[in-house]
Amino acid sequence: MDCADKIKEIRKMSGMNRRDFCDTYQIPYQTVTDWELGHRNAPEYVVRMLEYYVRMHEIMKKDEK
């Protein structure tokens, strides 16, 4: 899976649109747009970290219910 597809998958896993995702994880909107369109690639450690944060965020939301 390439970087663009992985970033899209992570964002979709979060259930957020691009703007909300960027605001929540404090990533510039244009950066995520460039990653998702394949204009730039996120470093692998950033992709892993984002996936971790999204998964932890989801777990925390479930625990709050």
Q: What pLDDT is stored for residue 35 in this prediction?
A: 97
pLDDT digits (tens, 9 = 90+) for 38-62: 999 999 999 999 999 999 998 888 8
pTM of the predicted protein model = 0.86
Q: Cα–Cα distance between 33 and 39 in angstroms, integer?
A: 8
Q: How far is CA 21 from CA 5, 10, 12, in A?
A: 16, 10, 9
Q: Indicate the domain borders of the chain.
A: 3-64
The yes-or-no verdict on residue 65 having pLDDT over 70 is no
Confidence of residue 64 (pLDDT cuts 50, 70, 90): confident
Going 25 to 61 to 47 to 18, the CA torsion angle's sign is negative
Mean pLDDT for all residues in the chain: 93
